[in-house]
Structure 1
Amino acid sequence: MNSNDVIWRQYYDKALSRPHHPRTAQAASLNQSDCMVAIDCGCGTGSDVDYLLDRKYQVHGFDINPVAVSLCKQRFGNHPSLHLSEASFDDFEYPEAGVIVANSSLLFAEPKKLSAIWKRISTALVKGGVFAGNFMGPDDTWATNYRSSTAPISEKQLQKMFTEFEIVRWDEQNEAGMTSLGRPKHWHSFSVTAIKR
């Protein structure tokens, strides 16, 4: 196991006890479409998957990290409403969906591919469906020279991406803090919940 795998394993061990993200609950409650399909982009240990399954969604969860997919398979077994894939943003086959969540995952997209990835996500979302997720801002510690790819984006660029949406919630975090593993870090992110029009 390389050092990157060790760090992810430590993160997932902590994440296993974490509840679903409030953005996910908000997205599910705002879904104005008849489409009860949800996509969890970068599903991690499955806390959002669990919440969405409880709300009777057909859930498609994917993660590029095989450890995450393995943990979800152990957690959910052969749940009939869950489809798990080991995939990246650009090779996942997006079904039509009423809810798409991307909590702490689009931060780590390939920066040159973010525009194309967003087009695939927004196209998969049906009218009246809801996107909820967050994006890395340019002032984040990890925006440059991080151990893996990150996709920092300016507020102006992000606003252009949501021209076909009604923004329900838009929050910016730009402050010093700690990582989940207890390391100091400057956080800069934009959290967005929006309905497709």
Structure 2
Amino acid sequence: MDENTEVWRQFYEKALARAHLKRTEFAAKLNESNLAVAVDCGCGTGSDIEYLEKQGYQVYGFDINPESVAICRDRFAAKALVEISQSSFEVYDYPRSGLVIANSSLFFAEPSNFQSTWENIESSLEAGGVFAGDFMGINDSWASQYRSPTTPLTEEHVKALFTDFDIIRFSERDEDAKTTLGKMKHWHTFSVVAVKRA
């Protein structure tokens, strides 16, 4: 097992114990698109999927890591409203949706294809639909020399992605803190909840 696989395995063990994000709840309530379809980009172990499915959403979750996909397929095997795929951001076929969640996942989108990935996400959202997610800032420890490619962005770049949205929440985190696995790192992230305009 390579180091990367082992790190993800440990992460998923910890992540399985986590509840859904309160931000996911907030975003789901903001959805005014009349489309109860959600996409969870980089769905991990599926805590947000579980919450959204209980709210009556048809949920499409995808992750590039086979272990995450296996956990979610097992976890949601009996749920007709949940569909799990193994995919990257770049090749995923985004369905028409009222909610797109990307919690701490777009950090790992392929930098050279980031703009087209974002355009795919944006165009999949119906008017009145909601995006909720995080972007990596340029001061983050993982912005360079991370074990896989990352897409760090400036605040201006992040805000420029949302020209066709009303930003409801925007926050910046710029601090040293522990990862899920207990290692210290410098976090620099931008978190956004935004509603797509008609």
Q: Same fold (TM over 0.5)?
A: yes
Structure 2 runs not aligned, ≥5 long = none
- Supply the AA of the counterpart residue of 1:17: A
In the alignment, which residue of structure 2 is the partner of 1:57? 57
1:102-160 per-position Cα deviation (integer Å, ceiling 9, x unaligned): 00110111111111110000000000000000000000000000001110000111111
1:2-32 per-position Cα deviation (integer Å, ceiling 9, x unaligned): 1110000000000001000112111100001
In the alignment, which residue of structure 2 is the partner of 1:132? 132
Of the structure 1 ranges 176-185 and 9-18, higher mean CA displacement relative to structure 2 is found in 176-185
Q: CA contact under 8 A between 2:169 and 2:193: conserved in structure 1?
A: yes
In the alignment, which residue of structure 2 is the partner of 1:11? 11
How do 1:16-35 residues align onto structure 2 when only pairs under 5 Å count?
16-35=16-35
Q: Secondary structure at the match of 2:35?
A: coil
1:94 counterpart = 2:126 = no
Structure 1 runs not aligned, ≥5 long = none
Q: Secondary structure at the match of 1:191?
A: strand
Whole-angstrom CA distance in 2 between matches of 1:196 and 1:142 = 30
Q: CA contact under 8 A between 2:63 and 2:85: conserved in structure 1?
A: yes
How do 1:1-197 residues align onto structure 2 when only pairs under 5 Å count?
1-197=1-197
Number of aligned residue pairs: give it: 197
Query: C-alpha displacement at 1:79, in angstroms?
Result: 1.2
Determine what percentage of the aligned residue pairs are the same residue: 51
Whole-angstrom CA distance in 1 between matches of 2:22 and 2:78 = 26
Q: CA contact under 8 A between 2:39 and 2:101: conserved in structure 1?
A: yes
Of the structure 1 ranges 17-26 and 139-148, higher mean CA displacement relative to structure 2 is found in 17-26
Q: CA contact under 8 A between 2:65 and 2:86: conserved in structure 1?
A: yes
- TM-score by structure 1 length? 0.99
- Supply the AA of the counterpart residue of 1:140: D
Whole-angstrom CA distance in 1 between matches of 2:139 and 2:22 = 24
Whole-angstrom CA distance in 1 between matches of 2:144 and 2:3 = 19
Q: CA contact under 8 A between 2:64 and 2:86: conserved in structure 1?
A: yes
**Which runs of structure 1 show a deviation greater than 2 angstroms over 4 or more consecutive aligned residues?**
none
Q: Secondary structure at the match of 2:152?
A: coil
Of the structure 1 ranges 109-118 and 127-136, higher mean CA displacement relative to structure 2 is found in 109-118
- Supply the AA of the counterpart residue of 2:161: M
1:31-67 per-position Cα deviation (integer Å, ceiling 9, x unaligned): 0111010000000000000000000000000000000
Query: C-alpha displacement at 1:78, in angstroms?
Result: 3.4
Whole-angstrom CA distance in 2 between matches of 1:42 and 1:55 = 20
Whole-angstrom CA distance in 1 between matches of 2:87 and 2:173 = 29
Q: CA contact under 8 A between 2:90 and 2:110: conserved in structure 1?
A: no
Whole-angstrom CA distance in 2 between matches of 1:113 and 1:104 = 18
Q: Secondary structure at the match of 1:185?
A: strand
Whole-angstrom CA distance in 2 between matches of 1:43 and 1:177 = 23
Q: CA contact under 8 A between 2:101 and 2:133: conserved in structure 1?
A: yes
